[in-house]
Structure 1
């Protein structure tokens, strides 16, 4: 099977915002407790944070992390997580039917973010609370001093403000599972008023308004149209969420699901364009795809806790999907879609970062380890920053019930903004056939392969674990640049990262 085409330095989709490779830490399951925070762990630093986890997050070069939720935030009192730990209340978390100790709050998370070399993206509670609490939290986090909330922060040990720039106005407010669910009109109004108040404090903030929780919502895409009608000139991003699953065990259909993702993005981009024209606005709104991942492996095991049969446990194992080789290919396809839509998707958050549907897993008191999906995320984060190129690739395709044309080879390319290297991210979806790639790269000067990593040849159900990680990248072979053409063979059911330097 052949794939031919071209990459041209003049055909640029847009600049990839580094925050396209963001992530998410919610007070859910073991994401926080025995995830990032375990004061009795052998690697714990002075703040009780696991250094082995910090090291892996730094390896991923995660630019921004959304916190503290997620569904959790819609009934969260942020004041419970400040002040002396011994005085902090234990609360019932209605979102995940667990008990929250509040031993980690904004101070601890901010210190962790600094150690992990990432920025914070904070969410405010517009479910059970509203504008006034959001205003107070913003003052606590970002005001230098001399006011009630900023001086309380200083009393609690943080002299300088954190100056967080990116804020989410609630979470999934269209969802019936959400504490404080609202209609589009109800949410549009409170989001507008909250944005107005936050901008009265600092007009340079970047504000994210809630879009549809999934494209399967009955209110989609009318929700986006109504919410943006209220908030268009007051916010900067509209959030989208989507999770991917393969309960049927149909690999071809599973690996085609980024076609649905692309349709979702395209539809909401159309709503944005329509609203801009309707309002005669000169402002551009972008998409913050701040929850996405594979999520289905653990759902049956989670039912006992989520249905309340175990009472209200603290930090139980929840949503601990153990990812397999098939999921490597899926994550590669999803990230490629975000790269190709970087003209409208500026922020994306892999949900989540540690233990909860995450690339990093931990054993309490034991090791931290890399899931199979760690690697496509790693390579995109490290090498996918720069100018995304609009490729022309001619390759055979197949059809599913939701997509008529799914190319067997999924490819994205980025020209680095740091060293000029040209990186191709490639997934071969074909179950049995090698695809011979022949791609013109003549517009980039003399090029040679400087890095070639491949994940291939594993059983689709192969997984990593604390005792061994068999699904890891290997050095690729047989790919090179000859007479301005990138040529080589891409193995069936494989993920490949090929980097061309000068």
Structure 2
């Protein structure tokens, strides 16, 4: 039996006919990709390339925040190496302070003089992973050293928009209104504006994006969908604007829970008192590629996760399969939302995504939920970004969980040590998509076959996305096949190609990852691209790789 067979993997039907009509295709090509540069889907919102920073483990303390008096190079107490690297990838938006932490957080604890701020018990004190810290440290007892002002400074240094998650579970609606007032009221206008000025920020922050609760089906209140809808109405009925175009984001389902979405939207948009608020523009969706047990572990969330560094070939493809589920989840959610919001005022906000593994590979014991990031995770992350690009008409914001020292991080650090993970290079390669026009693309590529618990299984081998800015088309590709390279031929339908450049992220070992001792084990490199007859691109795509092509049209 052949290891791979030839079939279509495409966002649109009819690809085979499109390919058969192009006389330039080479018979020797393993994969064919046709990009329709005149057929735009929608603008790719830069905010799709956002990141998530929660008060959990080593994300803030030992990650973002080192303190102004630290020997570690910093800007206003924020790790300088992190700021510098983030500016390389043009981070558009940062979500904070949670996550589950947000629904136990009072923003007022994190303003004013740092030495006077209260110390509170962190939400994560009750988590089983926290037991190893023996009730000690900032991970258990939140010092509030890093609060709203410090986060806003972080956003300013990295040129990112702030996205704040408000506490709906344990604080009243008035507290939310006052946080908006603190952030956005004009200089000298209110007592909270004066408090902000005393902290060194007389000008308003102009925060546009606000999450109204987080995972309200679980850690954010354990609500029923209609209960949460009622709370959402109450919290958003009146919010001061100060001329800011507020974007309110509701807490959506756990992965693909259709009953949550159906119940919430019915309560919001139907009945005698339908909700009419043009500021409600986002529906939060969370999907972690976490259930890697293939059904062998029941009713044990943590045991089903799999391991970051100890995995086999089947585990490789199962992670890809679990990651790719986000596309079906998005389509299912969109279909339900369309019933109640046919004009699509509300878009998808995928503000937590990525692989999630067992504890054990964190770079320091204080980094709760910390994990190493391998080339496998880089492919999973790139695959997710391609899905967002292909659905640019549906997704307005996305934030990878999380930025540093946690799940699927771009950066790992401890004390003076700092490094980038393979995910950093993915975001660096994909940054060119931000603000581009997502293009329809047809993929015809070999499918990968593997053995799954003694039975044959398969997964797509090559897929990706394309976007256009003026006369430049950016193409990104993920080859999930661990063993075989793919000789790909690419056509920009109806247009001539003047030149092309390429980059690739790959490694010979599927477990490859960067460490403090070896920081260049996985990184992006230049890739040769052949342009034939001004129409076709020919490129050899390595196994288990992420590829970026920059194509200049003639």
1:241 is matched with: 286
State the superposition RMSD in angstroms. 2.5
Matches within 5 A, 1:226-375: 226=266, 228-229=268-269, 233-234=277-278, 235-245=280-290, 246=292, 247=306, 249=312, 250=314, 251-277=316-342, 282=343, 284-296=345-357, 298-299=358-359, 316-357=366-407, 358-364=409-415, 366-375=416-425
- In the TM superposition, what is the alpha-carbon distance from 1:412 to its structure 2 partner? 0.7
Matches within 5 A, 1:12-411: 12-39=40-67, 40-45=69-74, 47-97=76-126, 98-144=140-186, 145-175=188-218, 178-198=219-239, 204-215=245-256, 217=257, 219-226=259-266, 228-229=268-269, 233-234=277-278, 235-245=280-290, 246=292, 247=306, 249=312, 250=314, 251-277=316-342, 282=343, 284-296=345-357, 298-299=358-359, 316-357=366-407, 358-364=409-415, 366-397=416-447, 406-411=459-464
In the aligned structure 2, how far is the partner of 1:207 from the partner of 1:85?
30
In the aligned structure 2, how far is the partner of 1:432 from the partner of 1:257?
20
Classify the secondary structure of the residue corresponding to 1:483.
coil
1:439 is matched with: 490
Classify the secondary structure of the residue corresponding to 2:422.
coil
- In the TM superposition, what is the alpha-carbon distance from 1:79 to its structure 2 partner? 0.5
Relative to structure 1, is the Cα distance of residues 41 and 361 closer, same or farther in structure 2, using a 3 angstrom cutoff?
Answer: farther
In the aligned structure 2, how far is the partner of 1:363 from the partner of 1:156?
28
Classify the secondary structure of the residue corresponding to 2:237.
helix
Specify every segment of 5 or more residues in structure 1 that has no aligned partner in the other structure, as ranges: 306-315
1:309 is matched with: none
Relative to structure 1, is the Cα distance of residues 457 and 82 closer, same or farther in structure 2, using a 3 angstrom cutoff?
Answer: closer
Relative to structure 1, is the Cα distance of residues 200 and 63 closer, same or farther in structure 2, using a 3 angstrom cutoff?
Answer: closer
In the aligned structure 2, how far is the partner of 1:354 from the partner of 1:275?
38
Structure 1 range deviating more: 240-249 or 345-354: 240-249
Relative to structure 1, is the Cα distance of residues 283 and 350 closer, same or farther in structure 2, using a 3 angstrom cutoff?
Answer: closer
- In the TM superposition, what is the alpha-carbon distance from 1:259 to its structure 2 partner? 3.3
Check whether the contact 1:95–1:179 (CA below 8 A) recurs between aligned residues.
no
- In the TM superposition, what is the alpha-carbon distance from 1:183 to its structure 2 partner? 1.4
Structure 1 range deviating more: 98-107 or 250-259: 250-259
Relative to structure 1, is the Cα distance of residues 231 and 461 closer, same or farther in structure 2, using a 3 angstrom cutoff?
Answer: farther
Classify the secondary structure of the residue corresponding to 1:267.
helix
1:311 is matched with: none
- In the TM superposition, what is the alpha-carbon distance from 1:199 to its structure 2 partner? 6.0
Per-residue CA shift, 1:108-143, capped at 9, x if unaligned? Answer: 111121111211111110011131110010011100
- In the TM superposition, what is the alpha-carbon distance from 1:13 to its structure 2 partner? 1.5
Check whether the contact 2:319–2:355 (CA below 8 A) recurs between aligned residues.
no
Check whether the contact 1:12–1:390 (CA below 8 A) recurs between aligned residues.
yes
Classify the secondary structure of the residue corresponding to 1:52.
helix
TM-score w.r.t. structure 2 length?
0.81
Relative to structure 1, is the Cα distance of residues 81 and 487 closer, same or farther in structure 2, using a 3 angstrom cutoff?
Answer: same
Check whether the contact 1:442–1:485 (CA below 8 A) recurs between aligned residues.
no
- In the TM superposition, what is the alpha-carbon distance from 1:405 to its structure 2 partner? 7.8
Check whether the contact 1:143–1:150 (CA below 8 A) recurs between aligned residues.
yes
Residue 540 of structure 2 corresponds to residue 495 of structure 1 = no
Aligned residues: 478
Relative to structure 1, is the Cα distance of residues 125 and 139 closer, same or farther in structure 2, using a 3 angstrom cutoff?
Answer: same
In the aligned structure 2, how far is the partner of 1:221 from the partner of 1:56?
37
In the aligned structure 2, how far is the partner of 1:351 from the partner of 1:99?
22
1:4 is matched with: 32
Check whether the contact 1:173–1:210 (CA below 8 A) recurs between aligned residues.
yes
TM-score w.r.t. structure 1 length?
0.89
In the aligned structure 1, how far is the partner of 2:524 from the partner of 2:197?
46
In the aligned structure 1, how far is the partner of 2:368 from the partner of 2:52?
15
In the aligned structure 2, how far is the partner of 1:231 from the partner of 1:213?
23
1:412 is matched with: 465
In the aligned structure 2, how far is the partner of 1:346 from the partner of 1:104?
28
Classify the secondary structure of the residue corresponding to 2:288.
strand
Check whether the contact 1:41–1:50 (CA below 8 A) recurs between aligned residues.
no
In the aligned structure 2, how far is the partner of 1:196 from the partner of 1:412?
39
Relative to structure 1, is the Cα distance of residues 158 and 476 closer, same or farther in structure 2, using a 3 angstrom cutoff?
Answer: same
- In the TM superposition, what is the alpha-carbon distance from 1:154 to its structure 2 partner? 2.2
Structure 1 range deviating more: 43-52 or 485-494: 43-52
Check whether the contact 2:99–2:214 (CA below 8 A) recurs between aligned residues.
yes
Check whether the contact 2:488–2:538 (CA below 8 A) recurs between aligned residues.
yes
- In the TM superposition, what is the alpha-carbon distance from 1:16 to its structure 2 partner? 0.1
1:308 is matched with: none
Classify the secondary structure of the residue corresponding to 1:158.
coil
